[in-house]
Each structure stands twice: as C-alpha cells, then as structure tokens.
Chains A and B, each alone.
Chain A
Amino acid sequence: MSPSPFVFPCGARLVNIETRMKSLPVDRARALAAFRLGDASFYWLTRICALVVLCILGGIILSLMIGAWPAIQTFGFDFLVTRRWAPQLEPTPVLGALGPIYGTLVTSALAMLVAVPVGIGIAIFLSELCPPALRRPVGIAIELLAGIPSIIYGMWGFFVLAPFMTDHVQPLFIDLFDGVPVLGAIFAGPPSYLSLFNASLVLAIMVLPFITAISRDVFMSVPPMLKESAYGLGCTTWEVVRNVVIPYTRTGVIGGIMLALGRALGETMAVTFIIGNSFQISGSIFAPGTTISAAIASEFAEASGVHQSALILLGLLLFVLTFIVLASARLMLARLERKAGA
C-alpha cells in the first residue's frame, strides 16, 4: 500500500490554508513536498513499530522452541500426558506437564466461575442502578483493585484469605458433599491453606476489575434511547438489562472476560504463594496443586539440563494454551455476531 495522500480533516480548513499559501511568498510545491515527506516518514515510523512487535513475538516463540528442544526430544508427546514430576531421577528425569496444565485450567475456570457473575453484576449495578453519588467512588475502588501488585494479593491471600477459607468455608463444603458421588470427590478434605480453591479465589478477585471496568464502560455506551424505549414499553430493569443492554454490548463484555481469562492463565506471583506448588493431581479442589507459571517461577532458578528445558517447554505450552483460549474466544465471538446479523 502506498502512503496515503495528504488529506485535511475538513474542507473549509483546506480552502483557508490554500488561500493563505497563495498569499505567502513560498513555493507551494516545495511546501507540499515537505508535508509529503513528513507524512511518509510518519507512516514508516508507525509501520516499523508494528513490525517490531511482530519480530519480538516471533523471537520469543523461536527462543522458547530452541530452549524447549532438548525436552521435546527427550519426552516427546508423553510430556503432555505424564503425571509424574521427578527431576531427581538419574540419568534422565521423568517430567510430565499434566499436573501443571490441570492446575492452570482448574484455577482459571474456577476463578472465572466466581469473577464473571460478580463482575458483571457490579457493572450492571454501577451503570443502571447506582445512585450517581456512589458511582464514582465505587468505580475508582474497582480500578484501584486492578492496580494492586500481584505479590500483595499473594500475601493477603496467604495471611488472611487462606486461613479464613480453610477454617470456616472449606469444612462446610466438605461436610455438605461428603458421600455424594462426583461432588464428594471434588470437595474432598482435608482442608488445606495452600490449595487450588484458595488460589482460584485470589485469582477471581484479581481479575474482577478487568471484567467490571470493561463491562461498565460498554454498558454506559448503550444509547439511552434504546433503554428508554424499553422502559417505555413497560420493561423492568432486569428485562432491560437482559434484552437490551447485554445483547447490545455482548462483544465488549466477552472481550473483557477474555482479557481476565488471559491474566488468570498467566498469573504467577500470587498463585505461587498460595497454591502449594505440588505436582499431584488429586481431583479435589481443596488439595494443593500447581500451575504452569508457578512451576516455572519456583523451579527455574535451580534447574539445569533437561529439567530446565522442560520448564521452558512448559512456558511454550502456556503460550499455546493462552493462544488457543483467545483464538477460540475470537471464533465464538465471530459466530455470535454472524448469528446476530442474520
């Protein structure tokens, strides 16, 4: 594509400048050429910036692949289905990614299960029901939540949330579902401070602001005319939200959720603090586990050889996992839009 020609935003201004140029003792062709040069260099500057991003992305993938190559050669496809993580074995350690993948998916899914309804609920309250005096302080509080460093969430989770959940909430669930077929295994005891469940809750709180802030902004963008017509037809607030606001803003809300999911999948510090860093898969959400990023963070400094390469391979897997999740979200969104359009 050639550089776009020099265009003024509005015609009136163009005329104005042209008349002024005529009156000035400047060579008009030269002035225009100078403009064109500036324009072209601006175009190339921005294009290079865009290309640099692509190069960095490609470089990261490439270096991950090079780093992961020894592990891929050693373990092959088995890496994805092996549950053991035994770096001490000689001469070749047995390492498998199933534990971290399981932990990553479970914690992210649980976190979204909690954060999506609560986050959208807050957004509906803020945009539709909240008295104006309260709107700003609550909105700012939500945005501040997003600014808290993740290590703080980890410490808070470790010292405050985990003891509370373990002493009061987990036993409740364990007793409630004791003996029930599938649920009994999911909520099996004993309660543990460091567990998938506690890590998921911290994650949920961490991603909440993303969902709320984006949903609120898109809810506010719904044209008042649409909402008021619905109210005029006698709709309740719930019906307006359900039938007007949410269908109108679906794309934006799902975008916010995807952003949150991306953060939940990759979150490291807070999770490492509170998940227990155990490679076992027990099936219970009250058991300790690990995630891909937590495994990398806690073992990378000490690892060497194939062990280190396996951790890099884990990183590559996280990359792929995140890509699959985001791509399928895009696909889903596109399908939804086509359906809505048809």
Chain B
Amino acid sequence: MDLSTIFRAACVAALTILPSVSAQAVDITGAGATFPFPVYSKWADAYKTQTGNGLNYQSIGSGAGIKQIQAKTVTFGASDAPLTAAQLSKDGLAQWPMVMGAIVAVVNIEGLKSNELVLDGRVLADIYLGAIKKWDDAAIKKLNPDLKLPSAAITVVRRSDGSGTTFNFTDYLAKVSADWKSKVGSGTAVEWPVGVGAKGNEGVAGNVAQTKNSIGYVEYAYAKQNNLTYAALVNAAGKTIKPTITSFQAAAANADWANAPGFYQILTNQPGEASWPITAATFILMYKQPVDADASNEALKFFAWAYEQGGKMAEELDYIPMPESVVKLIKDSWAKDIASK
C-alpha cells in the first residue's frame, strides 16, 4: 500500500466517522474567570460521564472571558465582575449568576494556623496600601493581642493580570476604607501602591506558599487545595468570622437578586452577624441572539443541569450554589431573553 492509498483511505474514514461523532457528543466552549474554574471543571467531568457532552472551559480570566464572548469565539463567557445593564444591552448579552464563592486573605507566617490571625477590612486595606509594613504593627497586634507575630516586613502579593477576584477584593477594600477608595479605588486591574504581582489565583497561592511573611487574596478553594493559612476577618457587623460554608451562605442569603437588572449584584461587605465579608458571585455571559443556536442550547442544558445536580459538588468545593428561587428567576430570564432556533 503506498502513501496516497493510505491517505485516501484515511480521508474516507474521517468523512464517514466525523459527522456521526459530532452528532453524538458536543463540546460546549466557554472562557473566562479563574475563580469558579475548580467547580466548573468538576461539573464538566460529571456532565461528561452522564451525557457524553464535554465542556471546554478555558480559565483565562474574567476580562479575557468578556473579550472572547464579544469576539464570539466561545459559546459563553464567564466573569466575576458583572457587566452593568447598559453594557449588556450594548452587546446584546444576557447575564446571570452561576455560583457564589468567597475570597479569603491567605498568609504565610511561620507557626501560624488558619483562623488564628484576625484582620479587619481597614487593616487589610492599610497592608495593601503599604501603610502597615510589618506583622507586629500596633494595628494588627490590637486585633490579635494573644498572638506572637514576627517583626518582619510584610510581602504583599496581588494579581498581576486583570481579574474578577481583584474586582471583588478591591471593591470590598473601597467599601471599608476611605483611604483605599480615594487612592486606589476598585477595578479588575488597579494601580497597586505596593506588592508583587502574580498571575491567576494559582499564581497568588503559589507565591504566598513560597514567600515567608507574605499575604495574598485568593478564592477559598485555592486556599484549601494549596493548604494555605487563611485569616479570620471582622465583618460589617463587627463580628470576627471564620471562612466557612455557613458564613458564606449567610452573606449570600442577603442578596436581592429579583430587583437587580441583568442580575447585577456585588456581594462584598454584606450586613448580618454571621456574614463572611468578601463573598462574590460569578457570572455567565451569553448572546441573546446566538450565532450558533445549537451550541447555545447545549450550553443552557449544561447550566440547567448544573443548577439541578451540581449543588452538592459545588458545596464540596466550598462554593455556594444559587438558591432555588434565584435559579427560577434565571430560568425565566433564559426563556424570555435567549432565542433558541
């Protein structure tokens, strides 16, 4: 058999096999936030086993996710920073929250265990402003009278890429510190006064794990998976709160989704005695008039499945599933807004 025969045979085989394969299994493509990536990949695995349909999700960051959906290279985009109703209508996009999570402050101080260190928003902002330079600063000592803290310089670790995690973190700091609000403000990428930048949640986690006397902020799942030491935070009600699924849920329960156009909600610094102060929802973006209606339907099927069956998996990774009432609102919005064939 010479080469051209083999090639011809291969072509024929490909032509006969390919259409049947694509009819059976579809790959849903999406791109965006790194924050929900652990739970999306877990859902994708389970969904693939159940239905044979895969999810190809690139965790490239919220801003990049928004750009990808605007460029129509993916079926859905994912972002931690919600777009405003005006931005949505400009591009003809629909938006809804997929799952909620929490951001924790992680530290690397020798001998310190999780939840031993207590910080509040003001102190956190001052550390990130460079106003508090050492771990034995009076302001930190005041919150931790019994803790022995080293007289070492704090290495501040933050994101170098634009990020929804940064958006929610800086939004929180701007809410609790007037200094932060006037000097830095909030956004997916800001003008950091101090610190070193690392790429992605995993980059910040890696840098904090590596660098002694450092502090960083990551999605809770990344802190747990990397066995990082996290700090307890003082919430809006003045209570010291540990990052647990209960405190995340307490914060999430306060959100009023029904009266938020485009589901625009930022969940930081929620009231309530038991609320964890830095919780965040992560959002999905899809076109109301999709280019490929089939792909769009498949994606919606996946999301519906995730709302119905993915809750437990999300909780295992310490994300907070959307409450049923909100899921109903979201499904109504699909039926109303997103054109199927």
Which listed residue, B61, B155, B170, B197, touches A302 by the CB 8 Å rule? B61
Please determine whether A302 and B64 come into contact, CB atoms closer than 8 angstroms: yes
Query: How many residues of chain A are within 8 Å of chain B by beta carbon?
Result: 31
Task: Please indicate which of the listed interface residues A162, A279, A301 has the most CB atoms of chain B within 10 Å of its own CB.
Answer: A301
Please determine whether A303 and B63 come into contact, CB atoms closer than 8 angstroms: yes
Residues of B within 8 A of A256 (CB): none
Please determine whether A87 and B189 come into contact, CB atoms closer than 8 angstroms: yes
Question: Is B190 an interface residue, CB under 8 A from the partner?
Answer: yes
Q: Which residue of A lies closest to B155 (CB)?
A: A192
Q: How long is the Cα–Cα vector from A194 to B194 in the complex, in angstroms?
A: 13
Q: CB within 8 Å of B: which of A145-164?
A: 158-159, 162-163
**Main SS at interface, chain B:** loop
Q: How long is the Cα–Cα vector from A189 to B213 in the complex, in angstroms?
A: 15
**Main SS at interface, chain A:** loop
Q: How long is the Cα–Cα vector from A280 to B161 in the complex, in angstroms?
A: 16
Please determine whether B197 and A85 come into contact, CB atoms closer than 8 angstroms: no
Residues of B within 8 A of A227 (CB): none
Q: How long is the Cα–Cα vector from A89 to B187 in the complex, in angstroms?
A: 9
Selecting from A15-23, A217-225, A270-278, the interface stretch reads A270-278
Tell me whether A88 and B185 are in contact in the complex, defined as CB-CB below 8 angstroms, given that A301-B60, A301-B161, A303-B63 are known contacts: yes
Q: CB within 8 Å of B: which of A289-325?
A: 290, 298-299, 301-304, 307
For the A-B complex, the count of residue pairs with Cβ-Cβ distances under 8 Å equals 88
Please determine whether B187 and A298 come into contact, CB atoms closer than 8 angstroms: no
Question: Is A58 an interface residue, CB under 8 A from the partner?
Answer: no
Please determine whether A88 and B190 come into contact, CB atoms closer than 8 angstroms: yes
Question: Is B177 an interface residue, CB under 8 A from the partner?
Answer: no
Q: How long is the Cα–Cα vector from A218 to B195 in the complex, in angstroms?
A: 45
Question: Is A86 an interface residue, CB under 8 A from the partner?
Answer: yes
Which listed residue, B60, B155, B161, touches A298 by the CB 8 Å rule? B161
Residues of A within 8 A of B199 (CB): 272, 298
Question: Is B211 an interface residue, CB under 8 A from the partner?
Answer: yes
B47 → chain A, closest Cβ, in Å?
Answer: 27
Tell me whether A194 and B63 are in contact in the complex, defined as CB-CB below 8 angstroms, given that A86-B190, A298-B160 are known contacts: no
Residues of B within 8 A of A298 (CB): 160-161, 197, 199
Residues of B within 8 A of A299 (CB): 160-162, 189
Question: Is B303 an interface residue, CB under 8 A from the partner?
Answer: no
- C-beta contact mask, A159-190 vs B, less than 8 Å → 1, else 0? 10011000000000000000000000000011
Q: How long is the Cα–Cα vector from A277 to B210 in the complex, in angstroms?
A: 16
Residues of A within 8 A of B162 (CB): 87, 299, 301-303
A296 → chain B, closest Cβ, in Å?
Answer: 11
Please determine whether A192 and B196 come into contact, CB atoms closer than 8 angstroms: yes
Q: Which residue of A lies closest to B163 (CB)?
A: A302
Q: How long is the Cα–Cα vector from A84 to B60 in the complex, in angstroms?
A: 26
Q: CB within 8 Å of A: which of B10-66?
A: 60-64
Residues of B within 8 A of A102 (CB): none
Q: CB within 8 Å of B: which of A80-114?
A: 84-89, 94
Residues of A within 8 A of B62 (CB): 302
Please determine whether B210 and A302 come into contact, CB atoms closer than 8 angstroms: no
Task: Please indicate which of the listed interface residues B61, B193, B194, B196 has the most CB atoms of chain A within 10 Å of its own CB.
Answer: B196
Task: Please indicate which of the listed interface residues A84, A89, A189, A302 has the most CB atoms of chain B within 10 Å of its own CB.
Answer: A302
Q: How long is the Cα–Cα vector from A302 to B170 in the complex, in angstroms?
A: 17
Question: Is B67 an interface residue, CB under 8 A from the partner?
Answer: yes
B1 → chain A, closest Cβ, in Å?
Answer: 35
Question: Is B186 an interface residue, CB under 8 A from the partner?
Answer: yes
A161 → chain B, closest Cβ, in Å?
Answer: 12
Please determine whether A278 and B64 come into contact, CB atoms closer than 8 angstroms: no
Q: Which residue of A lies closest to B186 (CB)?
A: A88
Question: Is A193 an interface residue, CB under 8 A from the partner?
Answer: yes
A281 → chain B, closest Cβ, in Å?
Answer: 13
Tell me whether A277 and B163 are in contact in the complex, defined as CB-CB below 8 angstroms, given that A190-B153, A193-B155, A302-B61 are known contacts: no
Please determine whether A158 and B160 come into contact, CB atoms closer than 8 angstroms: no
Question: Is B188 an interface residue, CB under 8 A from the partner?
Answer: yes
Residues of A within 8 A of B192 (CB): 278-279
Please determine whether B190 and A301 come into contact, CB atoms closer than 8 angstroms: no
Q: How long is the Cα–Cα vector from A189 to B188 in the complex, in angstroms?
A: 30
Q: CB within 8 Å of A: which of B201-253?
A: 207, 210-211
Question: Is A288 an interface residue, CB under 8 A from the partner?
Answer: yes
Residues of A within 8 A of B189 (CB): 87-88, 299, 302-303, 307
Question: Is B191 an interface residue, CB under 8 A from the partner?
Answer: yes
Please determine whether A277 and B191 come into contact, CB atoms closer than 8 angstroms: no
Q: How long is the Cα–Cα vector from A85 to B191 in the complex, in angstroms?
A: 6
Please determine whether A163 and B210 come into contact, CB atoms closer than 8 angstroms: yes
Question: Is B198 an interface residue, CB under 8 A from the partner?
Answer: yes
Please determine whether B195 and A304 come into contact, CB atoms closer than 8 angstroms: no
Residues of A within 8 A of B190 (CB): 86-88
Q: How long is the Cα–Cα vector from A193 to B184 in the complex, in angstroms?
A: 25
Please determine whether B198 and A277 come into contact, CB atoms closer than 8 angstroms: yes
A-B contacts, 19 of them at CB < 8 A, read A86-B190, A88-B186, A88-B187, A88-B188, A88-B191, A162-B210, A189-B153, A193-B211, A276-B197, A277-B197, A278-B195, A288-B197, A290-B197, A298-B160, A298-B199, A301-B63, A302-B61, A302-B162, A304-B67
New contact pairs (11) apart from A88-B170, A276-B195, A288-B197, CB-CB < 8 Å:
A84-B191, A86-B190, A94-B191, A163-B210, A192-B155, A278-B195, A279-B192, A290-B197, A302-B63, A302-B161, A302-B163
Cβ-closest 6 pairs across A and B = A302-B162, A88-B187, A277-B197, A302-B63, A86-B191, A276-B196
Which A residues are closer than 8 A to B by beta carbons?
A: 84-89, 94, 158-159, 162-163, 189-190, 192-194, 272, 276-280, 288, 290, 298-299, 301-304, 307
